[in-house]
């Protein structure tokens, strides 16, 4: 380790080795995985060339960049600075998040113009940092009149609302990404100056502040700084921020601070905060070996996946408090399902996989990814969802931006890192977790190269061909995930079930054209053999249209059915169905449904078609049944053609008045911006 001290702060001069102890299952970095498929590659490219510049433009337009310029002017002693209040005390995080996404994109695709823009932005951010490392424009712009959530002194309102440590956490995440992408330390040094200030300020000593972060993420950010620098103070502070939470009076459920995290058993409170907390606990557990955190997040996961997750992988049912509801409280029309919570859910499930090596976490990750998370951004890459309800009465649509703009920023930073979720390694075992055409360049334990090439039309087709090409003959084990949905399991925990029996179409696996019996080990088919250049694995995951029902305790879905095919959850949307009405459609179980790919629809999607019934009551009170064409599209693709009705869950029978009672709303309307 070689560190240079500048102005009392730790300033990184050269890279140092990463942490000794870390996740037992190591992801193959996104820089080593190249997707060239028809599904993800175009989306990642839209994110790179459209969404990232667009989001930077929105940050400029909305004064978020000006906040740094105003703070810098104040620090230079200028007195004629406009004191316009920032929109929120966490507005600084939006440029940080887009900067993080832009860094990931730069890591795989050089873009000198974008690199120069980032350097300019980083200089602006650095200029707003106070001499001791504090960086929070909501206070620096006007210290005598800080934002009213911010408290009259630094950090006095941190546990409630100031978001000072939230801002710091996103800065740390961006800085680690930018450093790893470019090798440049300009943003990293800004982050380390602030991290050093936090290390001095917060901790168990009597002369330190005993405060937990009001909105978690600084724990994950500090873990990344620790990995980058090897400085144990950052890891110790991340652990302190977890352990102080709930250990002192004044906590509450909303902030996950009513009891210490290691004692928590249920997914509660603000869902984005929760996902970041559980992810931070996983990071600190991996880096310290502390099993108490693992036991806690395992218990919380059982609760979340067994009782509080939507079919789309969305979490956080309640608009009020942007929070988890009670067990089985999963209304559809009012489902909050913040896009950021879906991102947090995928952060968390990825980390659980990296701790345990079990495919059940990837099942949750994949469901969230293709459905609840991907719905957060339009096909154009310039419109966004904040809540992601599972039903619309026609009054909800995507927005070009938000006053509280957390969700677009999270999309911009998640998507370019997606290739890093595809493969992992532990010793001589190589995990194939997700499926898309493309290549991955790995190193086997002896350092020899291994190239994996996938060819597939996933998620539209379950035929997956993997060319295994070690540079030299090599014995190792390839662990190919057999998704839960292909094994008759909608999600681990049994909250949802397949209503039909289509087990007559088995999953098949072949190596070099010879069938292999699938012996499952924690959701993986293990292929342990001596591999050589040109070996071919062929996996076939049949993708019939499946009907899904929910646990009877989910009252919003009682008597209802939803449709899936492969990893994709479907919905009916107004343009595809007669009369534009979809919320009162009935899909009897005996109605055949077929799937077809429509290349001209919504950039090319698989659709499900059949016949549905609509019931209504005539003027004399009798029940009228009419039959009509039915079409469903992937849930992620809805709301790209204007406002109108949408539904995921449909009544499944036409037993007269009872069916009528099932028609329409399954909860209030989504209540966000
Ligand atoms: Zn958000």
| 385 CA from centroid of ligand 1 (Å) | 9
Kindly tell me if the per-residue pLDDT of 151 is higher than 50.
Answer: yes
| 272 CA from centroid of ligand 1 (Å) | 7
| 386 CA from centroid of ligand 1 (Å) | 6
Q: Which DSSP string do the residues of 311-368 spell out, in sequence order? A: TTS-B--BTTTTB--STT---STT----HHHHHHHHHHHHHHHHHH--HHHHHHHHHI
| 28 CA from centroid of ligand 1 (Å) | 27
| 158 CA from centroid of ligand 1 (Å) | 19
From the candidates 406, 407, 564, 573, give the one annotated as an active-site residue.
Answer: 406
- Residue 323, beta-bridge partner list: 270, 318
406 flagged as catalytic: yes
From the candidates 159, 216, 219, 322, give the one annotated as an active-site residue.
Answer: 322
| 118 CA from centroid of ligand 1 (Å) | 23
Question: Would you give the end-to-end CA distance of the chain in angstroms?
Answer: 48
What's the pLDDT at 18?
53
Q: What is the DSSP letter of 626?
A: E
Kindly tell me if the per-residue pLDDT of 669 is higher than 50.
Answer: no
Kindly tell me if the per-residue pLDDT of 199 is higher than 70.
Answer: yes
Reported as a pLDDT band with limits 50, 70 and 90, residue 459 is very high
Torsion over CA of 144, 150, 153 and 155, rounded to 10 degrees? -160
Kindly tell me if the per-residue pLDDT of 668 is higher than 60.
Answer: no
| 410 CA from centroid of ligand 1 (Å) | 7
- Count CA within 13 A, CB hemisphere, residue 71: 27
Reported as a pLDDT band with limits 50, 70 and 90, residue 504 is low
Q: What is the mean pLDDT of residues 333-348?
A: 98
What's the pLDDT at 134?
98
Q: Which DSSP string do the residues of 191-240 spell out, in sequence order? A: HHHHHHHHHHHBSSSTTSB----SS--HHHHHHHHHHHH--HHHHHHHHH
- Picking from 287, 398, 383, the residue whose alpha carbon sits closest to that of residue 643 is 398
Reported as a pLDDT band with limits 50, 70 and 90, residue 84 is low
| 414 CA from centroid of ligand 1 (Å) | 12
In whole angstroms, what is the distance from residue 304 CA to residue 294 CA?
15
Kindly tell me if the per-residue pLDDT of 658 is higher than 70.
Answer: no
| 420 CA from centroid of ligand 1 (Å) | 22
340 flagged as catalytic: no
What's the pLDDT at 85?
64
pLDDT in tens, 11-27: 444 444 455 799 999 99
pTM of the model: 0.95
Peptide bond connecting 459 to the previous residue in cis, omega within 30 degrees of 0: yes
pLDDT in tens, 604-614: 999 999 999 99
Kindly tell me if the per-residue pLDDT of 626 is higher than 60.
Answer: yes
| 407 CA from centroid of ligand 1 (Å) | 3
In whole angstroms, what is the distance from residue 672 CA to residue 439 CA?
40
Q: How far is CA 246 from the centre of its chain?
A: 26
CB 317 within 8 A of CB 331: yes
Neighbours of 602 (CB within 10 A): 16
pLDDT in tens, 24-49: 999 999 999 999 999 999 999 999 99
Kindly tell me if the per-residue pLDDT of 449 is higher than 50.
Answer: yes
Kindly tell me if the per-residue pLDDT of 189 is higher than 80.
Answer: yes
In whole angstroms, what is the distance from residue 123 CA to residue 173 CA?
17
pLDDT in tens, 506-529: 999 999 999 999 999 999 999 999
Query: Residues with Cβ < 8 Å from 102, sequence gap 6 or more?
Result: 52, 56, 114, 117, 118, 412
Kindly tell me if the per-residue pLDDT of 664 is higher than 80.
Answer: no
**Considering the chain, what percentage of its residues have pLDDT values greater than 70?**
93
Three-state SS annotation for 582-617:
CCCEECCCCCCCEEEEECCCCCCEEEEEEEEEEEEE
| 35 CA from centroid of ligand 1 (Å) | 27
Kindly tell me if the per-residue pLDDT of 640 is higher than 60.
Answer: yes
What's the pLDDT at 661?
53
Kindly tell me if the per-residue pLDDT of 147 is higher than 70.
Answer: yes
- Mark the residues whose beta carbon lies below 5 A from ion ligand 1: 338, 340, 406-407
Q: Determine if residue 563 is left, alpha or beta; phi over 0 gives left, psi from -120 to 50 gives alpha, anything else beta.
A: beta
Q: What is the mean pLDDT of residues 348-352?
A: 98
Kindly tell me if the per-residue pLDDT of 545 is higher than 70.
Answer: yes
| 387 CA from centroid of ligand 1 (Å) | 8
Q: What is the DSSP letter of 290?
A: -
Please identify which residue in the block is written with the tokens 């500048």: 6
| 668 CA from centroid of ligand 1 (Å) | 20
| 278 CA from centroid of ligand 1 (Å) | 17
Mean of the per-residue pLDDT values for the chain?
A: 93
Phi, psi of 189 (to 5 degrees): -65, -35
Kindly tell me if the per-residue pLDDT of 667 is higher than 70.
Answer: no
| 308 CA from centroid of ligand 1 (Å) | 19
| 167 CA from centroid of ligand 1 (Å) | 14
């Amino acid at each position: 380790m070689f560190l240079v001290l500048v102005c009392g702060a730790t300033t990184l001069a050269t890279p140092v080795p990463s942490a000794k102890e870390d996740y037992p299952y190591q992801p193959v970095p996104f820089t080593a995985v190249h997707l060239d498929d028809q599904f993800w590659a175009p989306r990642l490219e839209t994110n790179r060339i459209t969404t990232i510049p667009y989001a930077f433009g929105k940050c400029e337009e909305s004064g978020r960049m000006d906040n740094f310029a105003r703070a810098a002017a104040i620090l230079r002693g200028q007195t004629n600075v406009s004191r316009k209040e920032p929109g929120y005390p966490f507005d600084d995080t939006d440029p940080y998040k887009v900067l993080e996404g832009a860094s990931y994109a730069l890591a795989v695709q050089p873009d000198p113009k974008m690199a120069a823009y980032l350097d300019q932005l980083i200089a602006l951010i650095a200029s707003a940092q106070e001499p001791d490392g504090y960086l929070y424009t909501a206070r620096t712009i006007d210290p005598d009149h800080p934002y009213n959530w911010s408290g009259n002194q630094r950090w006095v309102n941190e546990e409630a609302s100031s978001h000072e440590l939230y801002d710091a956490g996103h800065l740390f995440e961006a800085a680690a990404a930018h450093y790893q992408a470019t090798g440049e330390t300009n943003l990293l040094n800004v982050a380390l100056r602030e991290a050093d200030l936090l290390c001095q300020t917060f901790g168990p000593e009597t002369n330190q502040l005993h405060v937990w972060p009001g909105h978690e993420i600084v724990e994950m950010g500090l873990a990344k700084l620790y990995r980058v620098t090897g400085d144990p103070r950052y890891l110790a502070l991340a652990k302190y921020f977890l352990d102080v939470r709930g250990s002192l009076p004044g906590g509450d459920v909303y902030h996950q601070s009513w009891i210490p995290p290691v004692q928590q058993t249920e997914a509660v409170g603000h869902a984005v905060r929760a996902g970041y907390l559980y992810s931070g606990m996983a990071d600190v557990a991996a880096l310290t070996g502390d099993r108490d955190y693992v036991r806690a997040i395992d218990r919380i996961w059982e609760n979340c996946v067994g009782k509080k997750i939507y079919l789309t992988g969305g979490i956080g049912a309640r608009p009020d408090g942007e929070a988890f509801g009670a067990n089985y409280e999963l209304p559809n029309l009012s489902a909050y399902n913040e896009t950021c919570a879906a991102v947090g859910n995928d952060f968390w499930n990825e980390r659980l996989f990296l701790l345990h090596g079990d495919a059940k976490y990837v099942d949750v990750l994949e469901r969230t990814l293709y459905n609840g998370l991907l719905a957060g951004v339009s096909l154009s890459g310039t419109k966004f969802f904040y809540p992601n309800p599972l039903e619309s009465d026609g009054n909800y649509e995507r927005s070009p931006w938000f006053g509280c703009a957390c969700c677009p920023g999270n999309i911009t930073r998640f998507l370019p890192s997606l290739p890093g979720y595809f493969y992992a390694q532990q010793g001589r075992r190589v995990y194939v977790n997700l499926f898309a055409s493309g290549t991955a360049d790995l190193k086997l334990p002896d350092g020899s190269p291994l190239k994996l090439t996938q060819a597939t039309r996933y998620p539209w087709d379950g035929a997956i061909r993997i060319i295994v090409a070690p540079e030299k003959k090599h014995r190792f084990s390839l662990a190919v995930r057999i998704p839960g949905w292909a094994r008759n399991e909608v999600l681990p925990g049994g909250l949802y079930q397949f209503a039909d029996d289509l087990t007559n179409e088995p999953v098949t696996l072949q190596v070099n054209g010879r069938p292999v019996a699938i012996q499952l080990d924690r959701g993986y088919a293990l292929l342990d053999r001596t591999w050589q250049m040109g070996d071919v694995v062929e996996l076939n995951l049949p993708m019939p249209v499946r009907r899904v029902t929910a646990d009877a305790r989910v009252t919003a879905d009682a008597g209802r059915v939803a449709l899936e095919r492969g990893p994709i959850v479907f919905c009916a949307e107004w343009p595809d169905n007669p009369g534009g009405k979809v919320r009162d459609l009935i899909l009897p179980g005996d109605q055949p449904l077929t799937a077809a790919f429509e290349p001209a629809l919504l950039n090319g999607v698989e659709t499900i078609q059949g016949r549905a019934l609509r019931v209504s009551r005539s003027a004399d009170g009798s029940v009228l049944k009419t039959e009509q064409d039915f079409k469903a599209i992937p849930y992620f693709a809805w709301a790209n053609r204007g406002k109108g009705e949408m539904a995921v869950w449909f009544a499944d029978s036409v037993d007269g008045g009872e069916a009528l009672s099932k028609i329409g709303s399954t909860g209030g309307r989504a209540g966000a911006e």
